[in-house]
Structure 1
């Protein structure tokens, strides 16, 4: 099953899935404001900073703990691992992908991302509402470890023996600018693959064949050991989603660059090589 779902496919589902609006903006305004202004009927708001990440420390968006995720599952009404869940954001799925990855890591098996998000829904004539659903009372208990995950040492190892993708913009990868973290550059041996190139101008993911071609040009084919990271583990999930859509599974280094640089003994590379 594809990790993506189209508006048409969502409408055709016989049983309505749990809907989660994960609209989030790195530099503001708050995603909750956008949710309050209009969202898919029945969708719950999920806050990336407080529900899909732990407090900043070892990186800007470390893993949340299982108790936090269990509370989110509870209020969304999720009572089993196979409860169908569809997550979305405004358009390009950058933050929705984080929910897709976190929910799967903590045990859910049927999580898909609405391709094109709210923008695609509205473009197809979909209704939006400002009404928030009542909190539910799901019973599923989140447990970690249902997807593989890398730490800093693991990411460094993949950079040597496989392909480690850096999902950030080229200028951040090269160390020319760094708007978010105190050190600029990238993990030695990483390959730059900006996440923005996974989607078209409407926010829809490129067709699977095009994504496979893109990643093949970066050295990734079936069987290649592949890992991804970004600044804080958000757009890395988007890269992992694009890779899975292309049939090329990858492991996420959740701590990403913001965690890598907390240890001054770890090497830092700059430039485009």
Structure 2
């Protein structure tokens, strides 16, 4: 199963006999609140125009639980997540396509959660809404209730201890920007640096200037050069399990399975007993 879909392919499927459920997950990481500025409003962006038939999904409220000791975007309650997906029309036997405003992080978070909870056929629109050349609408659909029942565990999930162990036994990618990995800056979390043994692999390097993923062969070459050799166990973390999901998606496009540490650096750095490495080297 391909993990991504092009805008042309999506247009064809939406016009077909079994169109996918379409989820709009527009969200972006913002420091605006700290600066006293209004934060990005994904629902307002959706209301101003979306792909016809798309249902808005709120990342902070439906794809995560309240921030706390488990990080800024901990796993949502499974039953609440299932109910949100059913309200959006998600059923186990019907394909799902997720998109966001183009960065791909939020769409990948929804993709990963649906995959983790057992949905067999979910894809991300490559390039997000900017790649879509069809019409937009402000009409809000009322989808029929879906039948999706989440069954967690279908793909790999790491906790802090498992992430630390994987950094030694396999390869653990840090999907954040290099300066945050090195500990030069940390605009969000209490401590800068990275999990000892983790390898810097910024998720921004997985896409081209148009925001679309690099070809699978190029992605595979990149990850293998960073240590993801065939047969190696691979994991990913980021700041709070959002951009890390995008890296897991990139790995899937490359044909490399990977587990996600959802708590990520926001959970790790909140525990003063956990070690922190700084600088360009994993150790």
Per the normalisation by structure 2, the TM-score is 0.92
Residues 1:71 and 2:80 aligned together? no
- Please say if residues 228 and 236 of structure 1, whose CA atoms lie closer than 8 Å, have aligned partners that are also in contact: yes
1:82 matched residue in structure 2: 93
SS in 1 for 2:105: coil
SS at match of 2:172: strand
How high is the TM-score relative to the length of structure 1? 0.96
Q: Distance in 2 between matches of 1:212 and 1:140?
A: 32
1:185 and 2:193 are equivalent in the alignment:
yes
Does structure 1 residue 113 correspond to structure 2 residue 124? yes
Q: For the Cα contact (< 8 Å) 2:190–2:270, is it kept in 1?
A: no
For residues 178-208 of structure 1, give each alpha carbon's deviation from its aligned partner in whole angstroms, at most 9, with x where no partner exists: 1110111100000000011111111100000
Report if aligned partners of 1:175, 1:271 keep a CA contact under 8 Å in 2.
yes
Q: What CA deviation, in whole Å up to 9, does each residue of 1:45-95 have, x standing for no partner? A: 00100000011011000000112111212211223x232000001113111
**SS of residue matched to 1:63:** coil
Q: Specify the SS of the correspondent of 1:270.
A: coil
Q: CA deviation at 1:264?
A: 1.3
Q: How far is the alpha carbon of 1:220 from its aligned partner?
A: 1.1
Distance (Å, rounded) in 2 between the aligned partners of 1:66 and 1:29 = 26
Counterpart in 1 of 2:278? 270
Distance 2:159 2:272 in 1: 16
Hey, what does 1:59 align to over in structure 2? Answer: 71
Q: 1:119-138 residue pairs with structure 2 within 5 A?
A: 119-122=130-133, 126-138=134-146
Matched pairs, number: 269
- The unaligned stretches of length 5 or more in structure 1 are none
Q: Secondary structure at the match of 2:132?
A: helix
Conserved in 2, the CA contact under 8 Å of 1:69 and 1:106? no
- 1: CA distance, partners of 2:129 / 2:264: 28
Q: How do 1:1-273 residues align onto structure 2 when only pairs under 5 Å count? A: 1-13=1-13, 14=16, 15-27=18-30, 28-57=39-68, 58-79=70-91, 81-122=92-133, 126-273=134-281
Q: Distance in 2 between the 1:77 and 1:29 partners?
A: 26
| Alignment partners' CA distance in 2, 1:38 and 1:197 | 29
Bigger CA drift: 99-108 or 140-149? 140-149
SS at match of 1:72: helix
Cα RMSD after superposing both structures:
1.1
Paired with 1:139 and 1:161, the residues of 2 have a C-alpha distance of 39
